[in-house]
Structure 1
Amino acid sequence: MKKLIKGARFTPRNYSDEVEAKIQQYKHEGVRLPQRHLLRTEEQLAGIRESAKINTALLDYISENIREGMSTAEIDHMVYCFTTDHDAIPAPFMYEGYPKSVCTSINDVVCHGIPSTKEILKSGDIVNVDVSTIYKGYFSDASRMFMIGEVSPEMKRLVEVTRECRDIGVRMAQPWTRLGDIGAAIQEHAEKNGYSVVRDLCGHGCGVKFHEEPDVEHFGKRGTGMMIVPGMTFTIEPMINMGSYEVFIDEADGWTVCTDDGLPSAQWESMVLITENGNEVLTE
């Protein structure tokens, strides 16, 4: 029996000998690989999937109830009640000081919009609702866009193309490819349609923690970045702007990210598990 090294971390494997052989091959070739603790065990995946079920059901619930005339504070209340009713915790609440249970980002707000009783949804608005759930210590994350009332054709197209960007990113998230492949494919589709991709924010590992490695950028070059390995779980959440990709953080609250030129932005987010044969969409 081998003596355990004091302080060493041992994670039960959740992949085949074939995967292990490929990991060793790419390691020998100097390819950047994820740390072993980012490859989920069966126990971890069971917990992450349960969290994801609640997160998706929450977005379905919001989809059924969001409406013109509603304040974003009402959305926050719905999120808190639904999540806690399912014995879960809203992950954003007090995360690094964030004061609410959900992010609600309207029109030129790219992300991290803080719900307010003074912010009322009106016809013509597009709004991103970003929800994240902790269930028995496991995390999940997703967001959807909602179009309120009569939305202009220009805004509808932005929302639709952004969803296409998310879907393209998900399709590109395959084992033994690179994270740069995801970003490059999203950027190509966005720019082909006349839009820009936000550079200052990205997707992220999620599951055992709210935010962990790797960073998943939505722009880049194919064949670059960390190799995607079976067992990884991360989000793909492109933020696509109608105008420039430049953004700024509102100094008044230190959270709200807005487009620099005041033009609209949209975002869709899913969380995926990389499998030996492709991927599994955990949230959408």
Structure 2
Amino acid sequence: MSIQNERELQGILKAGKFVALVRDVLVRLVRPGISTKELDSVAESYFHKFGAMSAPKFDYNFPGFTCISVNEEAAHGIPSETKILKEGDLVNIDVSGKLDEFYADCGISLTVGNSNPERTHLCQAARNSTLAGISQAKTGNYLRNIGRAMHLSAKNEGYTMVRNLAGHGTGRKLHEPPQVLPYEDKKETFKLNEGLVLAIESFVSTGAHYVYEANDGWTLKTRDGSLVTQFEHTVIVTKNGAIIATG
């Protein structure tokens, strides 16, 4: 969507603040021995408390309120009582929801327990990549420059970008046009307009360029076991740069 008035602006900011709150609550709970289902149950309680709807659950019938992916899982990991986080695991928490009539989407990856320098750097690389993309989210700029900045950031840190996962427009629905590719498509001529709401995300890997769908019909993971981290913000495009709704 493209924001047309103050009511819509405040609606997106409110939705963004909510999903960011849930994200931050779950991040603080991550520790060795906790299951991804336990984390998701906490998220569920927040959705109920705030009268919000989980976007994956209610829009796509996903079996969880949040997507929690571990190690070589890039996205759409199903919360499970049997998936117990261990010291040194990489865990990605992706929270998307609808509050009142507006959607917002965010995600973060972190290491479990004591810091593992190599894995922590991979998490930071995803954050850096996404922020590089966000720096290009200005009115009148080409959409493809977001992908170019994200790709170059990851490449310069020695990592690959997962190419078959992308960001997207959001706001009135979870997934709206345009698709925000994680690389530069030089044939793309779309220019960013004032007020456009985007979910900008990077999936950075130790070696994978693509992911595939696992047998559960949801989880997206690397074939060779390469690790993946993700970082995502919902932003609003303006002539002065992006407003981060999920900061």
Range of TM-score over shorter length:
over 0.9
Q: Give 5+ residue unaligned stretches, structure 1.
A: 1-37
How far is 1:222 from its partner? 6.2
1:109 to 73, 92, 95: 73
- Determine which structure has more spread, i.e. the larger CA radius of gyration: 1
* Contact 2:98–2:104 (8 Å) recurs in 1: yes
Which residue, out of 138, 159, 166, partners 1:195? Answer: 159
Counterpart for residue 244 of structure 2? 281
Partner of 2:206: 242
Within a 5 Å distance, the mapping from 1:218-257 to structure 2 comes to: 218-221=182-185, 224-250=188-214, 252-257=215-220
Q: Report the 3-state secondary structure (helix = DSSP H, G, I; strand = E; otherwise coil) of the residue aligned with 2:174.
A: coil
Residue among 40, 53, 63 paired with 2:3: 40
Query: Number of residues paired by the alignment?
Result: 246
The match for 1:175 among 139, 149, 153 is 139
2:118 to 154, 176, 199: 154
1:157-198: CA deviation from partner (whole Å, max 9, x where unpaired): 111111110111111111111111010111111112221111
Q: TM-score, normalised by structure 2?
A: 0.95
* 2:132 alignment partner, SS class: helix
More contact order relative to length (CA 8 Å, sep ≥ 6): 2
CA contact (8 A) 2:75 2:221 kept: yes
Q: Which consecutive unaligned segments of at least 5 residues does structure 2 have?
A: none
Note if contact 1:159-1:267 (Cα within 8 Å) is conserved in structure 2: yes
| % same residue | 32
Distance 2:204 2:110 in 1: 15
CA shift at 1:223, angstroms? 8.4
Tell me which amino acid in the other structure corresponds to 1:139.
Answer: Y
* Partner Cα separation in structure 1 for residue 17 and residue 208 of structure 2: 35
CA RMSD of superposed structures (Å):
1.5
Among 191, 204, 214, which residue is 2:178 paired with? 214
